[in-house]
Amino acid sequence: MADQLEPETLLREISDLEGRIGELRQAANMPEPDLRATLDAALVELELALTALRTMGADQNAVTGSSAAADAERRVLRTVFQDAPVPLFLLDRDASVRRVNRQAAALLGTSPGYVSGKQFIAFCDLPTRAALRSQLAEVVRTGRRKRADVRFLGRERPVEAAVTMARVWIRGEADPMVIAAAGPTAKSKKKAEASPAKSGAKGETATPATARGASRRTEQATAPETRDDEAMAAIVHRMDVLATASELLLDDPVFNETVAMRRCARLLTSEMADWVFIDILEGGSGGGNGRGAELRRMVVMGPDNGDDTGAIARSLEELPPGPDTLPHTVHTTRQSALRPHVESIDVLGVCADGQPACGKIGATSVLCVPIDDGTTSIGAITLAGSGEQGPFDLLDLGVVQRLGRYLALVIRAARIFRRRAEVAESLQSSLLPRHLPSIPGLELAGSYLAATHGVEVGGDFYDVFPTSDGGWGMVLGDVCGKGEEAAAVTATARHGFRLLSRWQPGPAEVLSMVNDVLLDEDRFVTAVTAHLKIAGDRVNIRLGSAGHPPAIVLRADGVIRAAPAGGVPLGLFEDFEAGLNDVELAPGDTLVLYSDGILEACDIARRQFGQEKLMESLAAHATAPVPEMLRAVEDTLRDFCDDDLRDDVSILAVRVLPPPSN
């Protein structure tokens, strides 16, 4: 081509070029195209177009000529670059994308505007990035053409491509630029020849759908008529994820914070991401957005790939979400962040071994949302993907944002629940003796199990105390209801029994006086009390009952009986009469008092534990020391009801020890 071209000649050359490019496009769309040859021809045409641009009359001062040259330049750029039948990237010398054509944008499954300005290597998988950057630098430095096999991170899935890079000088630019043209690899070409595309417009190869599910991708053709169905399937799947999350997070009556976070991470790794990180503000409910506190990594969950994944997860658990990381920024600003194509692989921090977290897990796409309850942020959820299922998009971000809100509300409820439970536990402990007294010749043990439903303080109590006649008193009772009001009645009843027994040793009198005290209360109390009088190696017991389940006597020879019950609950009627009974315990005999919570505990079929099963459990462990016997009953009860106790359970037992041998 001449050093200078007249405008008319240049226009003719452009017209011929347009015709040849049209033929190349037709060749690329044939059923079995030779895409490698088409790519090489397109690059030749590109070189010719660049030569034409260089020879355009820079020194043509005529207005008509300059206008014609400018029009011709625009036509060359539009024809060669935008309408080329192969994906083309125009790169600055620092490998940032200046411009892409429609074919390149379609290859990545995005818009040309999104690609422009980003690093070219950000659209390639991690293993090829370093080598590709070096090859780009060599092309700029030496001008020699380079070819590399690349896995582009397409919207649907990674795309294997052979990229040819060539240096170009464009008029008006101070530095050289790089044209990168993408075509099929030899491997993918052979695969395509062996397995022709099923259905696609103009011979295009079918691509997978975008819906995420249990298999993370559904293999379908993406013909135009199916795209609406695929979009609807993706939306429905995201709705399913949110519905499942709601069920998992709310299906926990105690709102356990750790359980909620792990359930959330497990759901996200199975449905949306390869790796999930959950970071929570340490020490507090989230007030002040981290003022005086730091984010702490609570959960790291990745693919179930054996020991390697476990080792990586452990190193990431030890990596704090510091101020220079994306989770920390998202938490402090309360603004979500979406990085469909990660450019800086240290965005999640650098591990102790010096390797960036993204590089360690192969993350090329990241999104992060605050765990925000609407008032404050208490942490962040981060999702990382390798690009095998395509980059994260705005719909993914919306789903995880909503999930972050759900998790924040559950954590806030869990912390309120925990504080109330601590208060209830402290109050409950004040209603039970810290230690039972040591009585010569007797072995004592008590047990208390709080209900697993609700956090209000229960109404059970028991106590052992000396009586006015030198004996010992035992009492076990249950106040109707729960909460602070029930706790006040519980304290009144327990201390009433202890105090009145110093003046009235008999159970009948003590029960009657406690009844008088409780008449002004709004709650009734059931109770069983025992007055113990030691006589040599035996113990005489006077039992008094006020509407309470009967005491159980376990003999040393294995015989087990329930003592007669009777009486009415305390605090209901002025005319009170207790149920009374006398029992004598010989060495090895045991007396057991208990609350109705153990009898009314149910299994999954709503069958009650009942008195018979209680007696069987006691008999099965009759030879064990009293504390071990009560623990065995607890274990049997927990197994029976699957640790689902709807009411508090109290047990108090005393055994007569055999006399010491000489």
Higher model confidence: residue 326 or residue 481? Answer: 326
Per-residue confidence (pLDDT) for residue 186, from 0 to 100 = 62
Q: Which two tokens stand for residue 475?
A: 């009492």
642: left (phi over 0), alpha (psi -120 to 50) or beta: left
> What share of the chain has pLDDT > 70, as a percent?
71
Confidence of residue 368 (pLDDT cuts 50, 70, 90): very high
pLDDT of amino acid 75 = 57
**pLDDT class of 61 with cuts at 50, 70, 90:** very low
Select the highest-mean-pLDDT range: 4-8, 65-69, 491-495: 491-495
Contact between residue 528 and residue 549 where contact means Cβ atoms under 8 Å apart: yes
pLDDT for res 230: 57
The model's pLDDT over 602-639, given as tens digits with 9 standing for 90+, comes to 988 889 999 999 999 999 999 999 999 999 999 999 99
The dihedrals phi and psi of 21, each to the nearest 5 degrees, come to -65, -35
Highest-confidence segment of 248-252, 425-429, 465-469, 481-485: 465-469
Region 226-235 average pLDDT: 56
Residues 6+ apart with CB under 8 A from 220: 206, 208, 209, 226, 230
Q: Quote the distance between the C-alpha of residue 272 and its chain's center.
A: 12
Contact present, 106 and 44 (Cβ < 8 Å): no
Tens of pLDDT, residues 323-364: 999 999 999 999 999 999 998 889 999 998 889 999 899 999
Q: Among 188-197, 423-432, 504-513, 592-601, which is the least confidently predicted range?
A: 188-197
pLDDT digits (tens, 9 = 90+) for 387-405: 888 899 888 888 899 888 8
Question: How confident is the model over 519-578, as pLDDT tens digits?
Answer: 988 889 999 999 999 998 999 999 999 999 999 999 999 899 999 888 899 999 998 999
DSSP string, 151-209: EEE-SSSEEEEEEEEEEE--TT-SS-EEEEEEE--HHHHHHHHHS--SS-GGGPPP---
Mean pLDDT, the chain, as a whole number? 79
Q: Which of 276-290, 333-347, 463-477, 545-559 has the lowest mean pLDDT?
A: 276-290
- Domains, the chain, ordered by start: 7-196 (3.30.450.20), 224-421 (3.30.450.40), 433-656 (3.60.40.10)
- Mean pLDDT is lowest, of 78-87, 188-197, 598-607, for 188-197
179-206 average pLDDT score: 55
Cα separations in angstroms, 534 against 275, 471, 472, 511, 640: 68, 7, 9, 22, 37
Q: Using 50, 70 and 90 to split pLDDT, how confident is the model at 245?
A: low
Per-residue model confidence as pLDDT tens digits over 416-452: 777 766 655 655 566 678 889 999 999 999 998 888 7
In whole angstroms, give the CA distance from residue 241 to residue 246. Answer: 9
Q: How confident is the model at residue 588 (pLDDT cuts 50, 70, 90)?
A: very high
pLDDT given for residue 505 in this prediction: 73
Tell me the residue length of the chain: 662
Give the residue ranges of DSSP H helices in 300-385. 307-317, 326-333, 357-361
Looking at residue 475, its pLDDT comes to 94
The C-alpha atoms of residue 148 and residue 89 are separated, in whole angstroms, by: 14
- Give the pLDDT of residue 239: 66
Specify the pLDDT at position 580.
93
- With a CB cutoff of 8 Å and minimum separation 6, the contacts of 247 are none
**Model pLDDT, residue 134:** 83
Tell me how far apart the alpha carbons of residues 365 and 152 are, in angstroms, rounded to a whole number. Answer: 13
Element (H, E) at 444: strand 442-449
Whole-number Å distance between alpha carbons of 311 and 361: 11
Higher-pLDDT residue of 233 and 414 is 414
More confident residue, 291 or 522: 522
Q: What is the pLDDT of residue 203?
A: 34
- CA dist 18 and 25 (Å) reads 11
What value does the mean pLDDT take over residues 201-225? 39
287, pLDDT greater than 70: no
Locus of tokens 């010719």? 48
367 sits in which H/E element: strand 365-372
